[in-house]
Amino acid sequence: MQTLLVLNINPGLEEDLVDYLLSISDLNGFTSYPVRGYGDHVNLSLAEQVSGRRKRTQVEIILAEEAVPSLLAGLAESVGRDITWWQQPVLASGSLD
């Protein structure tokens, strides 16, 4: 079964994350985009405290569900710890070429 793994990271980790994900031959690709995080105000810069949000980068990866634990372990070791993640089942996916 396939799953959608969503990573929400500190933008400073993006280059290391991209390098790590590109090194995994079983991944067919991923998508990333800038987002803003709202909520817990721990470890915010002064500007982030004033605006009430923090800059984050979100990455979405469709992969085999059983591959998630090893990918997360590799992220913690190779990229960093300021990563929030969740996964969702993928009912179907494809490409219209």
Which pTM value belongs to this model? 0.85
**Domains of the chain (ranges plus CATH)?**
2-89 (3.30.70.120)
At 51, give phi and psi (nearest 5°): -80, -20
**Distance of alpha carbon 11 from the chain centroid:** 10
CB 61 within 8 A of CB 27: yes
The residue length of the chain stands at 97
CB 20 within 8 A of CB 78: yes
pLDDT tens per residue, range 23-76: 998 898 999 999 987 766 666 666 666 566 678 899 999 999 999 999 999 999
CB 78 within 8 A of CB 86: no
